[in-house]
Chains A and B, each alone.
Chain A
Amino acid sequence: SQQGEEDPQALSIQEGENATMNCSYKTSINNLQWYRQNSGRGLVHLILIRSNEREKHSGRLRVTLDTSKKSSSLLITASRAADTASYFCATVSETSGSRLTFGEGTQLTVNP
């Protein structure tokens, strides 16, 4: 069954604005990862946050994790048209070993 659920399903913003995507999950996790997928391509890893971490940064990306609420958010600051893509969260549960469970993704459109 799907563990992560992204919200919103689709987001459309203007270049320069910030984009925030949320992910909720159901079971206890070892880590949570965010991936990006350009249309018709494979997924590319963006950032991994461990269950004992609360916030992580990578360039224009900021990820937060709230294990008490079983939720995470991905913030993309100063968005660009090239950020247009689908974004997925994926979780590794405490009992799943190396298996990742993906949500359905958020389709982000950044308008020039």
Chain B
Amino acid sequence: DVKVTQSSRYLVKRTGEKVFLECVQDMDHENMFWYRQDPGLGLRLIYFSYDVKMKEKGDIPEGYSVSREKKERFSLILESASTNQTSMYLCASLGRPQNSPLHFGNGTRLTVT
């Protein structure tokens, strides 16, 4: 079974802090994704990566950056956390063929105070 692991289930940070959310997958998947989930808004794509060192902006990239130095790890970075980034963050990976399902981690609930 594919395993997608997010390093923290809960995180509390202060406004202005730099925040790193880590995600690791163990199935050699090429594609990895970061979503945020908010009540009434569903899942919105922040960034995705289809290969090492490659990244693409999703629908709401503002205030975020990502890093993919190794195939198995995809990091989401909040350069200067703000209260409107309080949310549930979900990482997912996707292998080949592209008509395949996403595999999600259990999420990181981030609170910015």
Q: How far is the CB of A89 from chain B (nearest CB, A)?
A: 10
Q: Which one, B11-19, B68-76, B77-85, B104-112, is touching chain A?
A: B104-112
Q: Is the CB of A104 within 8 A of B42?
A: yes
Which of A45, A92, A100 has the most CB atoms of chain B within a 10 A radius of its CB?
A100
Asked whether A48 and B101 contact (CB < 8 A) given A98-B31, A99-B48, the answer is: yes
Give the complex CA separation of A69 and B31 in angstroms: 30
Q: How many residues of A contact B (CB 8 A)?
A: 26
Give the complex CA separation of A40 and B89 in angstroms: 11
Asked whether A104 and B40 contact (CB < 8 A) given A41-B107, A45-B101, the answer is: yes
Cross-chain pairs A/B with CB under 8 angstroms, 5 sampled: A2-B41, A41-B106, A42-B4, A45-B101, A98-B50
- Enumerate chain B interface residues (CB-CB to A < 8 A): 4, 31, 33, 35, 40-45, 48, 50, 58-59, 90, 92, 94, 98-107, 109
